[in-house]
Structure formats: C-alpha cells, structure tokens
Structure 1
Amino acid sequence: MDNGSVIEAMLDEAPHSLKSFCHTHTPEPQLRWLQQPSVKSSDSGGLQIPASSQSMFLWAGSKGVQGGGNERRAVYQSIREYDVLDKRKTVTALRAGEDRAILLGLSMVLMSVMMYFVLGITLVRSYSDSVWTEESSCTVLNSTIVGDVNCSYSCGSECWKNSRYPCLQVYVSLNSTGKVLRLAHNEEAQDSNPECFYVPKCRKDYAAAVAMVTNISERLGRQQTVPCYSDPEQREDSAILTRLYGKLAVFHSLFWPTCTLIGGTAIVAMVKLTQYLSIMCDQASRIGR
C-alpha cells in the first residue's frame, strides 16, 4: 500500500476515533468542575459552609446539653421547693390542730374547775353542813295545823304584799332510840321555820295554801312509819323527812365535772406526748443523716 492510500485510510478512521475520544473524555472535565468547588472549599478558606455548619452543630449540641442540665436542675429545685412547701403546709396544719386541741383541753379543764367551784359552794357545802346524816325510821305520833304564819310575796318591782300560810306540826318517835322529835320536811324548811313541818311558797291565795297543807297532813296521818334522817350525835331535837342533797345526788352532780376534767387533761397530755415523740423522731432522723 502506498502513502496516499494510508493517509486516506487514516482520514476515514479519524471521525470514529474522535467520536470515541469525545465520548470517553468529555465528562471528565465536567466532573472536575463539579468537584472543584468542594476541593476549593476544603483547601481554600473562601467557601466554609460545611465547616461553619459543623461548628454550629457542635455549638448547638453543647448548648443543648447545658440547657438540659439547667432544666433538670430547675425541675429538681421546683420539686424540692414543692416538697418543702408541702411539708410546711402539713406542719402548719398539724400545729394549728395541736393548738386547737390544747385550747379545747384547757377549756374543758377550766369549765370543770368552775363547775367544781359552783357545786362546792352550793351542793357540797349543804351536804357537808347537814347534821341529819343517820338514816332510820320514825313513827308518826301527831300531825296537826297549829296556826297561821305571816309571810310576804312580791307583786312587782319594789312591791310587796302580806299573806299567810298554815303551820303544820308533826311529831315522830325515832324507832332506834324511842326519842320523840319534831319532824321537818328538809333542811331548808328547818332553817326557814323550825316549828313547822312544811313551809310553802307565800302566795296571794290563802285557800290554796290551806288545801295543800291539809293534804300533806292527811297523808302523814295515814302512814304510821316513815323514813327519816336524824342527828347521830343528838345535838338537834328534830328530824327531817328527806335530804336536799344526798349521796346519790352529790355523786351525779360531781360525775360530769370529773369526766370533763379527766377528758381535758387527757387531751392536753396526748398532744404534748405527740409533740415530744415528733421532736424525738426528728432528732433521730437528723442523726441518721
């Protein structure tokens, strides 16, 4: 083959080789162009978006961790403050209840003392001053109305009018000794008028008083033997039919003040014991810590 034919063959194959060359090597400059900004961004300091985003992510992450710790501390502090406030409220409520209980106990004690004072100067004094303490039986000897006794009754403010009531005398014989004694209804009648068995309330209607005393006289006349109280030392020449305040009356009147006193004292004692035990438990818990 001569040189001319060789040149012609090369010229015929040139377009195919050029096409294959362009097909294989054309994307390479494009890839280099696409990778060039990333290389420049990593080598040069012109474009630092990835570095800045990484640093921003790290800074935000450290701030988030620090903020989470502060939030935990705030939550713990709020819970602790709530517990302390709840304990304070509980302690305040307990103290208020204890104060009220102590006040109730002291009020009960004071009321019982006042009741003892009132009963002491009235009931107990009358019971202790009475000399008719021996209980026995008496036989009725005589029951008659001997006359009238003058009295006065109130008709208004600073207004008094005179009236009268019949005087009934009753004589009895004491069965234990056989001594004849004058009988009175109770200590009050004996102190008001020792000559009369019964001293009715002075009223305007004299006929009503006469009817009442007559009824008493008839009832005593029908009963031959009646219970009575006499002086064991025989200092009094009289006996009484009933006592104003006997042992049973004194017991019942002093029972409730005694219960009030015991209840008030028990309330105060229990509150003080509870306070003492709470203080001991608090000290023991502090020592354990």
Structure 2
Amino acid sequence: MFFVASRNAQAGGQSNNRSRSFYQKTPKGDVLDKKKPVTALRAGEDRAIFLGLGMILSSVAMYFVLGITILRSYSDSAWTEEGICVVVNSSITADMNCSYSCGSDCWRASKYPCLQVYVSVNETGRVGRLSHNEETQDSNSECLYVPKCQKDSWLMHAMVMNISERLQVHQQVPCYYDPDDQQQDVVLLTRIYGHSAVFHSLFWPSCMLTGGALIILMVKLTQYLSTLSEEIVKFKR
C-alpha cells in the first residue's frame, strides 16, 4: 500500500507540475500570437508607403521628361493663336529631291511635288504661306507637306495631290498663326503639341502623383488612429 500511495503521490505531483508548466507557457504563446498580426500589419504599411513613394518618384520623372520635350516645344512655338484661313492660291511649284534608306549605309534619291498654298487669315486679314506643322516649316518652309521619302515617287505624288484636292473642296480650314507678327508670312495647318496634347500628357502623371500622395496619407492616418486608440484604452484602464 505504501508503494501504491507513493506512486500516486508522484503521479499527482507530475500532473500538477505539467499543469503549472502549461499555465505558465500559455501566456507566452498568446503574446507570440498577438505579435504576428502586428508584425504583418507593419510590413503591409511599409510596402504601401514604398508603393506611394515609388508612384511619386515616377510621376516626378515623367514631369521632367515631359518638361524637356512636349512642354518645351509647346512653349517655344510662336503659332499660338487659332483662326480660320481661306485658301487664296494653291499650286505645284516644283519637284523636290529627297533620299530614302535602302539598307545598311545605302541611300537612294527620290522626288516629291512641292505644294505651295497661300491663305488669308480671317481674324487679321493678312496673307501667309500655309505649312503643315512646325517640323515641316523647319525642314522645308516652301512646301505645305513633306511626305516620308520612299522609293515609289508616284505614291508621294498621289498623297500631295490628295491634299491639294481637299483644300480646293474645303476653302476654309482651321489654322494657327502668330499673334505677335514674328512669323507673319507663315501659317500652320496643325500643331504638333496643342492644348489637348499637353493636357493628356500631364493628366496621367498628375493622377499618379495624387494616388501616391493619397496612399501615404492614408497609411499615416491609419497609424495615427491606431496609436490614438491605444492611448485611449490605456487611459481607461
């Protein structure tokens, strides 16, 4: 009986020790389980902040690229005023020479007709030479349109004649002129970068910048509200 009682006492002691060790280990496990969501939440907040900063930096880089390309060309253009031009005279003056690539270090000559058009601007009443856009004015100021040089000269001739026929049908066309009379003898049919092109080029970088700033603002606001709620809970205790 003594041995049985001692064995029962030892078994009871071991069970009490196990229960004590269980109750001692349980709070530590709860603390670890609580730390896991907090750590995951902080990692998610850090990723969101990095995403917002990346969007802001990307938008700044896009603004820089647009500033030295589209915005610079738009601001340097002298033809800023839009008006209505009436065709006064349209004629083929001569054949212009051009060269096209036929392979590596290979260039061949071709020709296209030079269409010269004079128009009268209704808003000012002055007569000027019509040019397609700023690039055409820089490459060949005498011709309305400079087609891409290619082997088939008849195709380029057909393109120019098609433009001439359209101008004969539509005597009045929208155009751009220089209000300061610096380029009074030249009128543009279209602009490479107009108001709509500038707006669309700046719209998406602005959306990206706003989105990145909102992401960072929302993360900071969430962190502030979380800290404030913890302080309120501590104050109530």
Q: Give TM-score, length-normalised by structure 1.
A: 0.74
Structure 2 SS opposite 1:89: helix
SS of alignment partner, residue 142 of structure 1: strand
2:55 is aligned to 108
Cα displacement (A) at 1:183: 0.5
Q: Residue 272 of structure 1: CA displacement?
A: 2.3
1:55-78: CA deviation from partner (whole Å, max 9, x where unpaired)? x58x939x84x6565444323333
**Identical residues among aligned pairs (%):** 62
Q: Which moved more, 1:74-83 or 1:257-266?
A: 74-83
Aligned counterpart, 1:129:
76
* More helix as a share of residues: 1
**Is the contact between residue 168 and residue 217 of structure 1 (CA under 8 Å) also seen in structure 2?**
yes
**1:119 matched to 2:86:** no
What whole-Å deviation, never above 9, does each CA across 1:200-244 have from its counterpart, x for those lacking one?
A: 101111111111101111111122211111111111021111112
Partner secondary structure for residue 273 of structure 1:
helix
In structure 1, C-alpha distance between the alignment counterparts of 2:141 and 2:194, rounded to whole Å? 21
* 1:18-72, Cα deviation, whole Å (9 max, x unpaired): xxxxxxxxxxxxxxxxxxxxxxxxxxxxxxx7xx69xx58x939x84x6565444
CA contact (8 A) 1:142 1:171 kept: yes
Q: Do structure 1's residue 154 and structure 2's residue 101 form an aligned pair? A: yes
Which position in structure 2 is the counterpart of 1:259?
207
**Alignment-derived partner of residue 22 in structure 1:** none
Matching of residue 60 in structure 1 with residue 5 in structure 2: no
Task: Tell me the secondary structure at the aligned position of residue 141 of structure 2.
Answer: coil
CA positional deviation for 1:165: 1.6
1:1-289 matches, cutoff 5 A: 56=5, 60=9, 64=12, 70-236=17-183, 237-286=185-234
CA deviation after TM superposition for structure 1 residue 266, in Å: 0.9
Indicate the structure (1 or 2) with the bigger Cα radius of gyration.
1
How far the C-alpha of 1:126 sits from its partner, in A, is: 1.6
**CA displacement 1:187-207 (0-9 Å, x = unmatched):** 121121111100110111111
Larger RCO: 1 or 2 (CA < 8 Å, sep 6+): 2
Q: Per-residue CA shift, 1:105-132, capped at 9, x if unaligned?
A: 1221122122212222222222111111
Could you tell me which runs of 5 or more consecutive residues in structure 2 were left unpaired when the two chains were aligned: none
Report the Cα distance in structure 2 between the residues aligned to 1:68 and 1:279, rounded to whole angstroms.
Answer: 43
C-alpha distance in structure 1 between counterparts of 2:92 and 2:66, whole Å: 36
Q: Which has the higher strand share?
A: 2
Q: 1:160 to 1:137 in 2, by over 3 A?
A: same
